[in-house]
Structure 1
Amino acid sequence: MTGQITTLTFFRYKTLFNKIWAFGMMQFAHSSLSRVEGQTFYKLLGSGKAGFNPMPDWTVYALLQVWENQESADRFFADSGLMVRYRKKSDEHWVLYMKNKMSRGRWAGKMPFSPHPATSEDIPYVAAITRATIKFKFLRKFWKSVPASQRPLNDNPGLLFTKGIGEVPFLQMATFSLWKDQPSLDAFAYRSREHIKVIGDTRKLGWYREELFSRFQPYRYEGSWKGADLRTLDINLPDQNQR
C-alpha cells in the first residue's frame, strides 16, 4: 500500500510492577523507537483519567507512529522486539491503522501528517487527534473550561471512543476520538455551544503556544480494548488478515 499511514497503539496495565515498567519505558523506549526503519514520526504518550481529566491514568499508555507506508508498519509490528515486550507486559492492547484526511497546525515544530491519496468512501468512520501546548499563564483558565467543553460528549450517540493522551501532564495535552461518521464529529466540533465557546476563547486569548488538529479514516485494527472486540462498538473494519 502506497501513501503515509498512522498507527495509534493503546496499552493497558493492571499490576503495579507492569505500571512501573510502562512509566519507565516513556524514557527508555526512545533508544529503540528512534531507529525504526520507515517510521517518520513517533510520540510516547501517557493518558489522563476519564472525561479529559488532567490527572494521570497510570493504567493506560499510548504510542503514536507515522509510517512511510503500510509495509513499514507491518514489518515493525511483526518483527519488533520492543513490541514483543510491550505485548508481554500489557494486559490488553489495541492498534488502530489510519489514513490522514486533513491536518493543520504543528506538533513539536513540524507537521507529521500528510493526506493519504486513497481513502475509501465505504468506510464512514472518522478519527480525530487534537494536540496543544498550553501557555503556562493560561493553565488555570484552560482546565477550568474543560468540563463544560466536554459535556456534549456525554452519552453522545456518534462517539465510539475517546481518550485524553499527552506528553507532559497539564501542559502538553491531546485527545483522540473515534466517531461513527463525519457529521457526528462536525456536530460536536462546530455546533455544540460549549465547544464553540472554547474555540472562541482560544482565538481571543491565544492560550496555546502550539496546536494541531487532524482527521483520519480508520481502516484496520488489531487487538481489543476493555476486553471487547471492536465490532461490539459497531465498527466493521477489516481485520488483521486483510489489507
Structure 2
Amino acid sequence: MIQTVTLNFFRFGPISQRLWAFAQMGAARFSMPKIPGIGFWKLCGSGTGEGFTPIPNTAVYAVLSTWDDMGSARAGQTASVFQNYRKHADEAFTLYLSPTAARGSWSNQQPFRAIPAPDTSAGPIAALTRATVKPSVATRFWGRVPDISTVIGSDPNVMFKIGIGEVPLLHQITFSIWPDTDAMANFARRGGPHSEAIQAVRDEGWFSEELYARFHVLDAEGTWEGQTPLPHFEDAA
C-alpha cells in the first residue's frame, strides 16, 4: 500500500472561533487516536505572517495525519474531529500527499513511508522540514527565520508556503509546494539567508531532532486566502 499523508489547514475568524480552535490543541488529542485508519498525527498552531515567526497566530491551525492509502485518508476526513474543525473555521484547505523521500525522525518516530516517484521531476512537489530547536540557541534560530521567509516569499516559483509547529519557539515546521523538483532545488542551492542558516545548523548543532521529507501532491481541496493555491487540481475536477 502507498501511504497517504493529509495536511489540513484551518483559518478562524471571530474570537469565539479562535478560542475554540486553541482549546482543540488539547481536546482533539483525545479524539484523533480514535479515527479509524489513522496512523501518525500532529496538531499544530502557526506563527504570524506566513507562519515563519515565533509569535503565535491565533487564526491559523493545522492537522497532519498519515494513512495507509488514499481511501483511508478520504474516509478519515469524514471523522467528527475534522468535521468540527470545518464547522467552526471560516476557511479550510486540505492536501493529499504521497511521500517520495524522508530522512530523520519526528517525536522519535519515522512517520513517512517514502516510495520514490517514477518521475522525480514531475510536480507539484511539496517539501516539509521539522525540527526541535535547542532552547540554548532558540534566539539565534528565530533571528534567522524572518530573512528566510522573505527569500521564500520572493521566489516566483513557490506555489504555497506556511510555517507551523507543535510548540511555540521550540518546534518549527516549514512546508512549501513547488511546480517541480528543479524549482525547489534551485531555491535550496541559492546563497543568502537560507543557505547561511542551513550551514549554521550543521556547524553549531542547533537542532536536537530534525526531519526532512518530500512529497508528490496527489490532490487538494478547499481554498486558502480566498484562492485555490493549486489550480491544477481544480481544473482536473
TM-score with structure 2 length normalisation? 0.93
Cα-to-partner distance string for 1:83-119 (whole Å, 9 max, x where unaligned)? 2211110011000001111011110001100113666
* Distance (whole Å) between structure 1 residues aligned to residue 199 and residue 117 of structure 2: 34
1:134: which partner in 2? Answer: 133
Which shows bigger deviation, 175-184 or 116-125?
Answer: 116-125
2:11 and 2:89 in contact (8 A); partners too: yes
1:8: which partner in 2? Answer: 7
In the alignment, structure 2 segments of 5+ residues that lack a partner are none
- Cα 1:128–1:118 shift into 2, 3 Å: closer
Written as runs of structure 1 = structure 2, the 5 A alignment for 1:1-243 is: 2-51=1-50, 52-78=52-78, 80-116=79-115, 123-231=122-230, 235-237=231-233
Which shows bigger deviation, 135-144 or 16-25?
Answer: 135-144
1:158 and 1:181 in contact (8 A); partners too: no
- Cα 1:224–1:151 shift into 2, 3 Å: closer
* Distance (whole Å) between structure 1 residues aligned to residue 195 and residue 154 of structure 2: 19
Name the aligned partner's letter for residue 225 of structure 1: W
SS at match of 2:210: strand
- Cα 1:84–1:239 shift into 2, 3 Å: farther
TM-score with structure 1 length normalisation? 0.91
1:221 and 1:239 in contact (8 A); partners too: no
SS at match of 2:58: coil
* Distance (whole Å) between structure 1 residues aligned to residue 131 and residue 121 of structure 2: 32
- Cα 1:212–1:13 shift into 2, 3 Å: same
Deviation at residue 194 of structure 1 after TM alignment: 2.1
Deviation at residue 29 of structure 1 after TM alignment: 0.5
2:123 and 2:217 in contact (8 A); partners too: no
In the alignment, structure 1 segments of 5+ residues that lack a partner are none
* Distance (whole Å) between structure 2 residues aligned to residue 28 and residue 108 of structure 1: 20
Which shows bigger deviation, 174-183 or 130-139?
Answer: 174-183
* Distance (whole Å) between structure 1 residues aligned to residue 235 and residue 35 of structure 2: 24
* Distance (whole Å) between structure 2 residues aligned to residue 77 and residue 239 of structure 1: 22
* Distance (whole Å) between structure 2 residues aligned to residue 138 and residue 62 of structure 1: 26
How many residue pairs get matched? Answer: 236
Deviation at residue 123 of structure 1 after TM alignment: 4.5
Cα-to-partner distance string for 1:25-71 (whole Å, 9 max, x where unaligned)? 00001111012221110000000112511101111000000101111
Name the aligned partner's letter for residue 64 of structure 2: L
Name the aligned partner's letter for residue 237 of structure 1: F
Q: Give the CA RMSD over aligned residues.
A: 1.9
2:101 and 2:213 in contact (8 A); partners too: yes
